[in-house]
Every structure is written in structure tokens, then in C-alpha cells.
Structure 1
């Protein structure tokens, strides 16, 4: 290609080349700036948003309450019946003071008191959250509380001491625990509230173990 030797033409060509170079550089910088901004935004979305979502999810889970979830009539009946059932077990346990002689009986009494008093408070809190009374209006609708002792049973237990108390306590508490396990298994089958079902699981596990221990006590008394 032939280059013009005219000074004015060469000057004009240099001006056009400089303008083109500046324009190209501007486009390149703009492109780089846009790319950097997009990359930064992309990293922000990738690192911060999942963390924010996880935090919100964790906050929602922490603020949730099992008692505020779905519950049904079986859950309500379980709490309403198990509260007085536990209360009677605690009444029987209190009679052991000054009457029980066997060390294993005394240990089981302490275990019963430790487990059942907190469960009573927990079940009362459920009923409050559910807007249900502690005792159903008109009784338990024909549902008997299995294993409950009569007044005569409790008076008979209070009237004995030492080995006689240990044996009678074991006999009565086996029947009482069997009733609690029966009600807890019904809650396992029919209940809907997760917290209520967990307590039912605990009742089945702990009281079945205590029944086995009480039977061993009877075998050696």
C-alpha cells in the first residue's frame, strides 16, 4: 500500500488513528468495569445470600414451638389424662418417705419424682398453648385412666412400713406404670403433636424399664 507524502494528509491520518485508539481504550475500560462489577455482585450473591437464607431459616426454626403446631384430640386427651396419672404416682412416691426400707425401692422413688414432675409442668404448658382445659368438661368421655389407684389402695399403702411397704409399693406401682404405658402407646399411635409424642416415647421407655426393676424387687422380697 502506498502512503501519502502530503504532510497535511499524514497529520489528518494520525488524528484519526489517535481518536480510534482512545475510543477503543474507552470501550475496553467500560467492558472491564462492567465485568468486574458483575463478578463482584456474583460473588456477593454466592456467598452472602445463602448465609442469609440459612440464618432466616434457623431463626424460624428456633422461634417455632412444637405445641404451636398441629395437634389433635388424642394429644389433648393424653395430656389431660396423664397429668392426674403422674400426680398420683408422685403421691405414692411421697408415701415412701419414712416407710420404704429397700434401697432399690428408694432409688426408683427418686427416679419417679425426677421424671414425672417436669412432665406434668410440660403437659400443662401444652394445654395452655392449645387453649384447652387441664381437665375435660364432663370427665374423660368414658376413657378410664388405666392403672389408677383407689382411695383404699392409697390408704392401705400409707398404713404399712418397711418390707411390707416395699412389697405393696412395688405391686401398686407396677399396675400404675402399666396403665401409663398403655396410654402412652395410644398417643404414639393416634397423636399428632411432635412434643406430645416424644413424651409418650419417654413414658414407654422409662416406665417399662421401671416395671422390670419392680418385678425383680418383688421376686426377692
Structure 2
């Protein structure tokens, strides 16, 4: 994973989010408080509560979801957008790299669900007033398919493609479930947490479906 400088509140929140996921196999952390006293000038940049305290990120669009977006909400949405954008090309390759009906059905269903999640995440980001640029552009992070890996997939077919594609899909789903679980625990925006809950639920179901496919 390429190291990137943490220069903004959103990046600090993302670091906290990923720190939570690194401990996902241990005891569940105590849910973060959704309100906190205003930090002092000397601790504002480093205080962990800044990642979960509800603060206005930007002006919500008229008719947008109720509630404020915390930096954790925005960081999770941005990472979800980046991860889904990297996975969709893998799923799109299925139609030309394998003829297995079960894999084709799995990829089509997964693609439809991830495009819907991507659309929702982008809409929520717009409502939050966060910048429209992708802060993870060019970053190779857990759960993201790299350009080199995608090039390798394009040269594979049949069972070899299915094996490699399955590895990437599993890595994506594992990480997506972990960070969505962290958003459930540390996020504050209602609609964003609803999306995170859906990602956890469908992600676990898709992991089980992928395991069945690979056992065939």
C-alpha cells in the first residue's frame, strides 16, 4: 500500500477508519460518541474524536438527507467510491473471459449491486458538500485492483481468469465489509450508515456465494 500524507480532516478520519478495520478480528471496539466537547486549539488536529463528531462538511443540497456528515462519513464514502470504481472493470471482463453460467450470473448480480452502491455513495458525497475529486486517485490500497492486476486479468481466460478474478473480488468484499462495519460504529450520518449496513449485509452474502462458486 502506497503511503500518502494525511493532510486533511477527511484523511485523518480515513486513517482512523482503517485503524479500526485492522483490529476487526479482535473484540469489537466501544462505539465512538457522536458528540464531543469542542477540542482545544492544541488538540484539534490530533484528537481522535474529530473523526466521529458530527460537523458540517459542506452545504447539503436542497432536499438532501437529514443530519450532518462527519469526516468519518465522508472518508468512508470516498473510499467506497474508489473501491467500487476499481472493481467494476473486473466484473465487466467476465462476459468475455469466461463462459461459466454461474460465474456470469454472479458477476452480473455483483456488478448491478455495486453500480447502485456507487451511485448512492456519489449522491451522498454531493449532499455532504465534499470535493468532487477522488482523493484516492492513484493510490493502491487494500481491496483495490491495481492497473497491473487488471492488465493481467485481461490476458487470462477460463478457469485461470476465474481464479484470479475471484481473488480480487474476495479482497474487495473483505475490505468493503470491514470499513463499512467501521462506518456503522463510528459514522453519524443516518443515510450513510444505512448504506454501510447494506454493504455489510450484501458483502457477507456475496463472500459466501463466491466460496460456493470456487468449490464447484
TM-score w.r.t. the length of structure 1 is 0.64
Q: Pick from 148, 168, 173: which aligns with 2:169?
A: 173
Aligned-residue offset at 1:101: 2.4
Q: Pick from 93, 101, 114: which aligns with 2:91?
A: 93
Question: Match for residue 70 of structure 2?
Answer: 72
- 8 Å Cα contact 2:102/2:213 also seen in 1: yes
Structure 1 segment 50-61 matched on structure 2, within 5 A? none
Q: Which runs of 4+ in 1 moved over 6 A?
A: none
In 1: Cα distance, 2:143 partner to 2:126 partner: 26
- 8 Å Cα contact 2:140/2:146 also seen in 1: no
Aligned pair count reads 153
Question: Match for residue 191 of structure 1?
Answer: 187
Question: Match for residue 155 of structure 2?
Answer: 159
In 2: Cα distance, 1:219 partner to 1:180 partner: 23
Structure holding more helix per residue: 1
1:204 corresponds to 2:200? yes
In 2: Cα distance, 1:134 partner to 1:85 partner: 16
In 2: Cα distance, 1:114 partner to 1:184 partner: 19
Gaps in structure 1 of 5+ consecutive residues: 1-62
TM-score w.r.t. the length of structure 2 is 0.65
Q: Pick from 69, 79, 82: which aligns with 1:84?
A: 82
Aligned-residue offset at 1:134: 3.2
DSSP 3-state at the match of 2:131: coil
Q: 1:113 to 1:169 in 2, by over 3 A?
A: same
1:106 corresponds to 2:104? yes
Q: Which structure's CA Rg is the greater one?
A: 1
Q: What per-residue deviation string (whole Å, max 9, x for no partner) do you get for residues 129-185 of structure 1?
A: 21111346xx46xx9743112222111111111121112211211111111111111
Larger RCO: Structure 1 or Structure 2 (Cα < 8 Å, ≥ 6 residues apart)? Answer: 2
Q: 1:166 to 1:144 in 2, by over 3 A?
A: closer
In 2: Cα distance, 1:109 partner to 1:153 partner: 18
Q: What per-residue deviation string (whole Å, max 9, x for no partner) do you get for residues 35-94 of structure 1?
A: xxxxxxxxxxxxxxxxxxxxxxxxxxxx9642x412201110011110011111111111
- 8 Å Cα contact 1:184/1:200 also seen in 2: yes
Question: Match for residue 217 of structure 1?
Answer: 213
Coordinate RMSD, CA, aligned: 2.0
